[in-house]
Amino acid sequence: MKYLKGVANTMSHDEFQKHDAKILTPSFIVLLVLTLIGFVLVAVRFIKGIGAVTNMSDGYPWGIWITYDVATGTAIACGGYAMAILIYIRNHMHYHPMIRSAILTSMFGYGLAGFSVMVDVGRPWNAYNFFIPSKWQANSAMFEVALCVMAYTTVLALEFLPAILTTLEKTEWKTLQYILDRIYARMGKERPERIGDRLDRVKEVAAWIKPRLDKVLIFIIVLGITLPTMHQSSLGSLLLIASTKLHPLWHTGFLPLLFLINCMFIGYSIAILESIISCYAFKRPFETKELSGMASIIPWLTIIWLTVVVGDLAWRGQIGAALSFDFYSGFFLLEFCLVAGGSLLMFSGKKRESIRWLFVSAVLIVLGGALYRFNVYLIGFNPGKGWHYFPALAELLITVGIVAFEILGYQVIVKILPVLPKLHTRQQIDEDHGVTEKA
């Protein structure tokens, strides 16, 4: 176990810092209101049935919740997956300071995708059957997705645990002490000693767990790379069965491979966007150098993806359908051009150095990649004559509420836990390389 010592050393915790700012901002209030509206509607769904808040039907049994929150949302939450590949497999340790915020967003993305599924399924109380071997059904891509997503959410939580442990270890419990003092003062009693002892015990336990977790963390991290590889491809496999319903532009045996590559380039693009947006929102210097390095990977992934798409269409003789400019062809071409356009921009080394162009190209690729998933799950899905689907307002508001909760949680957690890259080291590196980016 000698080599593990080295492993633990490199996972330094002082690369991260809390973002010191007020928690109660105007955006906090707006997001909170949206979240609350969403959750009230979730309550309505559980009281009155799914039909009361959605436009889903027997023809379109999967609506925006599955298409966006699960199929697309988990791809958007692949920032942590993409960053982990980059850092631990491609061996670019200098991206390590960016991992925690990527893992945090992934954790929210996957956790809330799981929550959405529980809202979406009709009989969630039977979900325990996933853990009963006699009920296992390995032929089902859904079974694989469900187990993998549950496992991955746990893995993400473990990967994020060091941030919590570090905080616990160093905390003075000031807020808690203050609140306790107030409570006991109100009750007119002396605060018992044992509470302080117990708080100290928590700190001790955190300090005990942390080095041990650090030692095995790399194996958990690698699990966190394996699981998304499995379930992101299986998200594509889900629609393999719908050979009569999914339009031939999208129904292919390559669905699992296309979904896997798709989640990777979405993952890198979203990691770029998250970094740009959070630096902009929290008024921190942009991480231009890291971002442009990351952006240089994306075009290679999209080229593979686009080649498989075109090659597969040609092989199945569907090129004509792709260029027929009807409803389906329109959405196909839009998805194709968004991904291709964004990649073309990222091919240029000069454009990659500019935050503005990085932002634009990453947005194009995320939109294109997400549209691909919408095309497969919803737009290209036709159950037969007479069926139509467009999400109901309440259905959309539940999705909006979940996304709002995601952003809200991120905003709050980066302010109470060390998640963002430490500023002075970042500035140090920037000064060393004479990078002064202001956009």
Partner 1 sequence: MGKPSRRDFLKLIGTGGAALLAGVSGAGASEERQVDNQTVGMLYDATRCVGCKACMSACKRVNSDYGSLSYEKAKFDSDGLWDAPQDLSGSTRTLIKLFKESDANWSYVKYSCMHCQKPSCVSVCPVSAMTRDKATGIVDYNKDACIGCRYCQIACAFNIPKFQWDKAIPQIVKCDMCKNTNLIKKGITACAETCPVGAITYGKRKDLLAEANRRIKEHPGRYVDHIYGANEVGGANHLYLAAMQFDKLGLPILKTEAPAEFSEKIQHTIYKGFVAPVALYATLCFIAVKNMKGHGKEQKGTDEISEGGSEHDEP
- Sites for partner 1 among residues 148-187 (CB under 8 A): none
Report the nearest approach of partner 1 to the CB of residue 311 (Å). 12
One-letter amino acid at 400 equals: V
Return d(Cα 125, Cα 192) in angstroms, integer.
42
Question: What minimum distance in Å lies between the beta carbon of 190 and partner 1?
Answer: 50
Q: Which of 11, 83, 9, 76 is closest to 294 using CA atoms?
A: 83
Nearest-angstrom CA–CA distance, 92 and 112? 30
* DSSP label at residue 381: B
Q: Is 234 exposed, middle or buried (0-12, 13-18, 19+ CB in 10 A)?
A: buried
59 contributes a contact to partner 1 by CB under 8 A: yes
Complete DSSP assignment for 235-278: HHHTTTT-TTTB-TTT--TTHHHHHHHHHHHHHHHHHHHHHHHH
Per CB under 8 A, which region of 49-57, 104-112, 153-161, 279-287 contacts partner 1?
A: 49-57
Q: Which residue lies nearer to partner 1 by CB, 26 or 384?
A: 384
Q: Measure the CA angle with vertex 94, ends 89 and 99; round to 5°.
A: 70
Please select the residue that binds partner 1; options are 10, 25, 27, 175, rule is CB under 8 A: 10
Residues 105-134 that bind partner 1 (CB under 8 A): 117, 120-124, 126-127, 129-130, 134
CB 421 within 8 A of CB 98: yes
CB nearer to partner 1: give 149 or 413: 149
140 binds partner 1 (CB under 8 A): yes
Q: Is 341 in the site for partner 1 (CB under 8 A)?
A: no
Q: Which amino acid is at 61?
A: P
Least CB distance from residue 67 to partner 1, whole Å?
12
Binding mask of the shown chain, residues 294 to 333, with x at each position contacting partner 1 by CB under 8 A? --xx------x-----------------------------
SS3 state of residue 98: helix
Scan residues 28-47 and list those touching partner 1 (CB under 8 A).
46-47
Stretch binding partner 1 (CB under 8 A), from 167-175, 199-207, 230-238, 270-278: 230-238
* CB of residue 204 to partner 1, shortest distance in Å: 27
Distance of closest approach, residue 133 Cβ to partner 1, in angstroms: 10
Name residues whose C-beta falls within 8 Å of residue 386's C-beta, 6 or more positions apart in sequence: 59
Structure token pair of residue 420: 């963002």
Q: Which is nearer to partner 1, 144 or 406 (CB)?
A: 144
Name the minimum Å distance from CB 152 to partner 1. Answer: 13
Q: At what angle do helices 99-120 and 141-170 cross, to 10 degrees?
A: 130
Within 10 Å of residue 133's Cβ, how many Cβ atoms? 5
Site residues (CB under 8 A) for partner 1, limited to 240-279 = 240-245, 253-254, 256-257, 260-261
Instruction: For the beta carbon of residue 333, count every other beta carbon within 10 angstroms.
Output: 15
| 237 interacts with partner 1 by CB under 8 A | yes
> CA–CA distance from 95 to each of 156, 275, 395 (Å)?
18, 12, 38
CA nearest 28: which of 416, 287, 395? Answer: 416
> Which lies closer to partner 1 via its Cβ, residue 150 or residue 404?
150
Identified binder of partner 1 from the candidate list 42, 85, 165, 397, rule CB under 8 A: 85
Rounded least distance, CB 304 to partner 1, Å = 8
Which position has the token pair 């989640």? 263
The interface with partner 1 within residues 373-402 (CB under 8 A) comprises 383-384
- Interaction of residue 347 with partner 1, rule CB under 8 A: no
Task: State which of residues 41, 56, 82, 322 lies at the interface with partner 1 (CB under 8 A).
Answer: 56
Q: Which is nearer to partner 1, 169 or 353 (CB)?
A: 353
Using the minimum distance from each CB to partner 1, give the nearer residue, 139 or 325: 139
